[in-house]
């Protein structure tokens, strides 16, 4: 190794070491400070009014609900778009490929839109335009639809996570060898039969990777739900999709910036952050397992 080679190795290694150190510090400190506060009660109880004691049950449930609704609303659209881009666009006449260029550009741009802008969009479109519109149409006196709630937050997050699903679906479908398509078409299967019976089963692990990544992204986002449904303190669980809800991420934000007694709420905070981190870790693990399965199949 020449001196130049050593410099390169050490210099680049140092950069990476800093990144890894920062990552492990984040996880390590959270684990160290958060674990002692964890017990069963933390998961099943509501926070008390001071938000210092008690648990995070409503935030857990709220996060789960908003993520579930988001998935149900967004994944079918995203997967359909991926299918269209990979399977239909190249064959859809002269307009297909051109439209595909537009769709891909839109997906790339959608992925780059700041999350807070999604929040403004959710408020301006779902809450004020759609929601208020519904209130008008149904002649509701007080706003029923036209206020922040679980449904609107979920739909906002669904739009936000759309690019993740689209991109991974398209990639997964493209990785399916053409020989399989030909085999299906060769016995007289329609394009749709081919897609649903041959291509999608084969691409499934890749598509699921995208879904899990989208869930991970959606579950952790706070900015888009600030004005579209998240509540600061709401010990009751939502029992209507139009209700507001507590959310793990929002809870962390609220506790760390608006808590009346920061030192007292510190253990609760770390424990909540730990739960969020564990969630991100778990989803990431699932995604990488799925991805390696997808690679093995390709």
Partner 1 sequence: MTETAVERAPRTEVEPKLRIEKLGVAYAGRVAVRDVSFGLPTNTVTALIGPSGCGKSTVLRALDRMHDEVPEAEVTGRVLLDGEDVYAPHVDPIEVRRRIGMVFQKPNPFPKSIFDNVAFGLRVGGLRNRTELAARVEEALRHAALWDEVSDRLGKSALGLSGGQQQRLCIARALAVRPEVLLLDEPTSALDPIATEAIEALIDRLRGEITMAMVTHSLAQARRVADHVAFFYLGELVEHGEAREVLEHPQDERTAAYVGGRVG
Partner 2 sequence: MKLGRVRTPWWHRAIERLIALFASSAILAVIAIGVFVFRQAWPLLIDDDALTDQGGLASLFRPRLWPGYDEPLHVWQPVGFPGKLDVIPLVVGTLKITGLTMAIAIPLGVGGAVFLSEVAPRRVREWVKAAVELLAAVPSVVVGFFVLAILAGGVQRAFDLTYRLNAFVAAIGLAFAVVPVVLTITEDALRTVPRELVEASLALGARRWQTTLGVTLPAAMPGIAAAVVLGFGRAIGETMIVLMASGNAPVMGLDPTSSARTLTATIAAELGEVTPGSDHWRVLFLLGALLFVVTFALNELGRWVVLRLRRKLRAEEVAPVSGRARRATATAEVAS
Please state the length of the chain.
298
Residues 197-216 within binding reach of partner 1 (CB under 8 A): 197-198, 201-202
Q: Does 116 bind partner 2 (CB under 8 A)?
A: yes
**DSSP string covering 163-193:** HHHHHHHHHHHHTS-HHHHHHHHHTT--HHH
Residue 181 interacts with partner 1 (CB under 8 A)?
A: yes
Q: How far apart are CA 220 and CA 118, in angstroms?
A: 14
Residues 8-47 that bind partner 1 (CB under 8 A): none
Which positions from 34 through 73 interact with partner 2, judged by CB under 8 A? Answer: none
Does 30 participate in binding partner 2 (rule CB under 8 A)? yes
Positive/negative CA dihedral, 218, 120, 254, 240: negative
**Binding residues among 81-100 for partner 2 as defined by CB under 8 A:** 81, 83-85, 88-89, 92, 99
At its nearest, how many Å lie between partner 1 and the CB of residue 203?
Answer: 11
Q: Does 124 bind partner 1 (CB under 8 A)?
A: no
CB-nearer residue toward partner 2: 17 or 49: 17
Verify binding: residue 103, partner 1, rule CB under 8 A. no
**Where do the H-state alpha helices sit in the chain?**
3-34, 40-44, 57-83, 95-112, 115-121, 132-137, 150-174, 178-186, 191-193, 200-220, 248-258, 262-297
- The nearer residue to partner 2, 87 or 239, going by C-beta atoms, is 87
- Indicate whether 4 belongs to the interface with partner 2 (CB under 8 A): yes
Residue 259 site contact among partner 1, partner 2, none (CB < 5 to 8 Å, cut-off depends on kind): none
């Amino acid at each position: 190794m020449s001196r130049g080679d050593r410099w390169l190795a050490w210099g680049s290694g140092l950069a990476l070491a800093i990144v890894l150190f920062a990552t492990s510090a984040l996880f390590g400190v959270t684990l160290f400070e958060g674990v002692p506060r964890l017990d069963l009660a933390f998961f099943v109880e509501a926070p008390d009014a001071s938000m210092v004691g008690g648990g995070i049950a409503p935030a857990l449930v709220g996060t789960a609900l908003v993520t579930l609704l988001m998935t149900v609303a967004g994944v079918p659209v995203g997967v359909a778009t991926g299918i269209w881009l990979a399977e239909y666009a190249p064959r859809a006449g002269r307009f297909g490929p051109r439209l595909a260029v537009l769709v891909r550009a839109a997906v790339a741009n959608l992925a780059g839109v700041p999350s807070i802008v999604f929040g403004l969009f959710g408020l301006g479109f779902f809450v004020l335009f759609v929601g208020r519109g519904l209130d008008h149409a149904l002649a509701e006196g007080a706003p029923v639809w036209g206020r922040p709630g679980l449904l609107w937050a979920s739909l906002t997050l669904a739009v936000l996570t759309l690019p993740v699903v689209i991109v991974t679906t398209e990639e997964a479908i493209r990785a399916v060898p053409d020989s399989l398509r030909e085999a299906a078409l060769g016995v007289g299967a329609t394009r749709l039969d081919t897609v649903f019976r041959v291509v999608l089963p084969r691409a499934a692990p890749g598509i699921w990777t995208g879904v899990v990544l989208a869930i991970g992204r959606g579950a952790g986002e706070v900015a888009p739900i600030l004005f579209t449904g998240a509540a600061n303190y709401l010990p009751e669980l939502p029992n209507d999709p139009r209700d507001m809800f507590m959310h793990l991420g929002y809870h962390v934000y609220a506790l760390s910036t608006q808590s009346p007694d920061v030192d007292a709420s510190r253990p609760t905070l770390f424990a909540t952050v730990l739960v969020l981190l564990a969630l991100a870790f778990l989803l990431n693990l699932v995604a990488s397992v799925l991805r390696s399965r997808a690679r093995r199949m390709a």
